[in-house]
A and B are shown apart, each in its own frame.
Chain A
């Protein structure tokens, strides 16, 4: 047999040397035979040969290169062979391959998506902030049961605070949004997130701008601060094309020209990972930008900031800082009792380190952890399942492997073949997972958890996470395939024929345990899925009090560019008029607050009789600009009448003050008595002591929550200039996209510097409030579906395997007269045992999951018998389906064959 050639470097060297030595010997012998003296012959031979060392070296180099080449092509050929074999194997049983790839894709894809989300929302370091562990957000206000009542820290108070605090250095910021355009005021503007900050903000965060410099405190002086803006890296790209001379450019914000002072570090968008701020402006420019003539910087009891950033000074701790802030609050309250009244109830709260969104600080990590655990579980099951399937396939190929071994294939070669099959499956699964990630990105909407509107909470595709998941699942896959591969190749020829070897029984038991595990996990996830779907359905059926279908909501901010009150009113009227005429719009209305997509002012309303005060109730107020609000939203009128245009005119003149109450409010204030014509009083910003007349009662509408009791509401025609800053417009039509387009077009026509903002369709806005439940429900439905499928396939494999092992037994029984039904019962007994065990463990797991989910289940009892029965029933159905085919095969065992094999 021809040799492959020398393999090791030392072998090559020896070879070459021997060859040359042999030549020299032969030459020498010939010379001697021709009469040369032996002593001279060796020298003559050497001379004739030439430089022996050079020759040897040349030959060695050639041989080594050749050998490396051969080895490489050899490996490639082997790999191609292995993969080709694997592909052929899978195309012979495509069902198996498809299921395996699909389950791997979903498992890897879901896990990747969730880890991407977790990284993006919770874990990644905040760009630009130096040493973020020592920086925290501090809120000014007071915490209450139903949320946080913010308060402001005025400029004089802030100055005092900075002077007195030893443990922390303080900066302040105030969020907002501005309409901005590059260049002139007539260029089309867009809405950007902005923060009005003190000069110390940049120092506290340790921000190093990539270009330029931030403004100094000397430049941030009211009433005319230096009009310079620090822009984000993202804005530098989108608005200025990364112009290196951006410091010479200007920006127009709400009609005011600002210079570009500097560019923030790449990726910095504010102090929260999910925030979207693009502009940092001097704090005292807020009055100019927002056209607020009432804003004051010298008063201790007005103006200021809601949020602070604090950096721990070296050697200090956060508890010390909180204690110092508490004593600061007491000082402010006592030192200026008249001006700092709010500090009787408000204080400072260290919210925690920069990064997480303040509102979702605790809920978001919990949600993500839950989602992550569920996905990992399914991924693990998927990997185990595919490995199990490969094992069973391996068992089925025992004879083939035995033959290949007999033909001389080394064991390593066979194992490598199996590994190639596993790797191919996992690679295909990983590639498909990419598709899954693309689809799932938008499905997991966490915006309701963080209670932020208009934010893009879809994380970008994180290639690091994806490749990490792929690589780690590949390693897991290899790990899971090695054992079956080794086991399969260990089979001795004789064993293939014998049915009940110890190895086979071990396989059987392992397979059965795996099936029990899969069934239990599926049932757990199914219980969770049914419970959450029940919650979502309950939330969807909650009566809203209005019809959300076909509604589109958006905002305009005429006050933000300095329109006076008559100008703003005229703008709104014109907008409404044009909108109503636009194609696809049936109705439109303008107001301050709209359900699920607005904010509102609160007030305390009381009845007024001649005889003094009546019941008092806290309620939000909705100021309307047009009489069509109720019709547009579909809110029913219960008593009295709605506002007419005349009412608006009268209210503006001050002649009359009509109000409409919601049903719940009317009952709370007047009980069963008729509210029409009665008087009420409620203070609203700047207006106190006014009386209003009730002219109508409308149906109760849910404004802010799907789970709490519906709110009450008092409606009034708008007369207050303050409300003109941001106006909500809602329109009803057949196609939300057409309405949105019309709105944008009209805004551009009327004034390009006033864009429409936060366009959202009402069903989407409502859905955001269901968002967390829906997200979780969606995930659990998907995962439980996958788990059930896996359990089905796994169980099928186990039962089929068991039947195959017991062929002889069945054959004998049939030969001895057993009926098909009896054979069926035998198979059913094993299946029932496995399913039973799965049910028991699954119910236990479901119990645990129900406890974990307890707080998220709304309108659904954690142990709702109907839902649990449905879940258990689904599992039983899965088990039955899995065992049908093998059971039938058992009854069809060929008796003659079995008898002959005895």
Chain B
């Protein structure tokens, strides 16, 4: 593989998932594709690791799920973000921005 795979922390995956469903409900495959597309394939994850994360987010009440039908007529389980999820997303985004900003500053400082 000649692309950089960035090891993702578990928490970061959760934030990405929340962001992905922020606009509209998505099923698990759709979330995987969104992450791939939006990060420009920079971030590769095993599909399988997505699902425990999704179920965990649902157990934490940040997401709810329901079965529905996809455009192609297939049964799919769609995840929707909750109010609590939105709040969590906002908080995590801020934290990430502060964190990355701090690290960037540290890395460009002349030593």
Contact = CB atoms under 8 A, between A and B. Distances in A.
Given A19-B51, A23-B29, A49 B75 contact: no
A15 B66 CA distance: 11
Contact of A25 (B65, B74, B77): B74
A48 B46 contact: yes
Contacts of A49: 46-48
Nearest to B44: A48
A19 B48 contact: no
Interface stretch (B13-21, B54-62, B87-95, B101-109): B54-62
A27 B52 contact: no
Contacts of A51: 48
B28 A19 contact: yes
Interface string A37-69: 000000000001111101100110011011001
B27 interface: yes
Contact of A50 (B27, B48, B77): B48
Contact of B52 (A3, A59, A65, A66): A59
A66 B59 CA distance: 6
Interface residues on chain A, size class? 20 to 34
A36 to B, nearest CB: 16
B56 A62 contact: yes
A790 B29 CA distance: 70
A62 B74 contact: no
Given A3-B66, A23-B29, A52 B48 contact: yes
A20 B74 contact: no
Contacts of A66: 55, 58-59
Interface in B56-99: 56, 58-59, 64-67, 74-77
A55 B48 contact: yes
Interface in A1-50: 2-3, 5, 15-16, 18-20, 22-23, 25-27, 30, 48-50
A59 B51 contact: yes
Interface string B16-50: 00000000000111001100000000000011110
A27 to B, nearest CB: 7
A22 B51 CA distance: 12
Contact of A59 (B27, B29, B55, B67): B55
B76 A22 contact: yes
Given A2-B64, A25-B74, A20 B51 contact: yes
Contacts of A54: 48
Contacts of A3: 66-67
B47 A50 contact: yes
A50 B28 contact: no
Contacts of B47: 23, 27, 48-50
Given A19-B28, A48-B47, A62 B52 contact: yes
Nearest to A60: B55
Contacts of B76: 22
A3 B55 CA distance: 15
Contact of B75 (A18, A20, A69): A18
B52 to A, nearest CB: 4
A20 B50 CA distance: 11
A55 B77 contact: no
Contacts of A63: 55, 59
Contacts of B48: 49-52, 54-55
Contacts of A20: 51
Given A50-B48, A55-B51, A19 B56 contact: no
B55 A23 contact: no
Interface in A50-95: 50-52, 54-55, 58-59, 62-63, 65-66, 69
A51 B49 CA distance: 9
Contacts of B27: 22-23
Contacts of A16: 51
Nearest to A15: B77
A597 to B, nearest CB: 76
A240 B30 CA distance: 81
A66 B65 CA distance: 13
B58 to A, nearest CB: 7
A22 B75 contact: yes
Contacts of A27: 29, 47
A12 to B, nearest CB: 10
A791 to B, nearest CB: 55
Nearest to A63: B55
B26 to A, nearest CB: 12
A66 B66 CA distance: 16
Nearest to A19: B77
B29 A22 contact: yes
A74 to B, nearest CB: 14
A62 B59 CA distance: 7
Contacts of B67: 3
Nearest to B61: A66
A5 B67 CA distance: 10
Contact of A26 (B29, B46, B56, B65): B29
A683 to B, nearest CB: 98
Interface in A172-200: none
Contacts of A18: 75, 77
Contact of B74 (A2, A22, A59): A22
A55 B54 CA distance: 11
A3 B77 CA distance: 12
Contacts of A59: 51-52, 55
Given A52-B48, A62-B52, A23 B75 contact: no
Contacts of B52: 55, 58-59, 62
Given A25-B74, A62-B52, A63-B55, A2 B28 contact: no
A51 B59 CA distance: 22
Interface string A442-474: 000000000000000000000000000000000
A247 to B, nearest CB: 64
Contacts of A2: 64, 66
Contacts of A55: 48-49, 51-52
B36 to A, nearest CB: 11
A645 B27 CA distance: 115
Contacts of B56: 62
Contacts of A62: 52, 55-56, 59
A7 to B, nearest CB: 14
Contact of B77 (A22, A30, A58, A69): A22
Contacts of A69: 59
Nearest to B80: A2
Interface in A818-876: none
A50 B55 contact: no
B31 to A, nearest CB: 10
A54 B55 CA distance: 14
B59 to A, nearest CB: 4
A481 to B, nearest CB: 37
Contacts of B74: 22, 25-26
B21 to A, nearest CB: 15
Nearest to A1: B66
Nearest to B29: A26
B59 A65 contact: yes
A58 B76 CA distance: 19
A61 to B, nearest CB: 9
B57 to A, nearest CB: 10
A801 to B, nearest CB: 49
A56 B33 CA distance: 20
Q: Which of A15, A18, A50, A63 has the most CB of B within 10 A?
A: A50
10 contacts: A2-B64, A19-B51, A22-B77, A23-B32, A23-B51, A25-B74, A58-B51, A59-B52, A62-B52, A62-B55
Interface of B: 27-29, 32-33, 46-49, 51-52, 55-56, 58-59, 64-67, 74-77
What are the 9 closest A-B residue pairs judged by CB atoms, nearest first? Answer: A50-B48, A66-B59, A50-B46, A55-B48, A26-B29, A58-B52, A62-B55, A49-B47, A23-B29
Given A48-B46, A62-B59, A63-B55, 19 more contacts: A3-B66, A5-B65, A18-B77, A19-B77, A22-B76, A23-B28, A23-B29, A23-B47, A26-B29, A30-B33, A49-B46, A49-B48, A51-B48, A54-B48, A55-B51, A58-B52, A59-B55, A65-B59, A66-B58
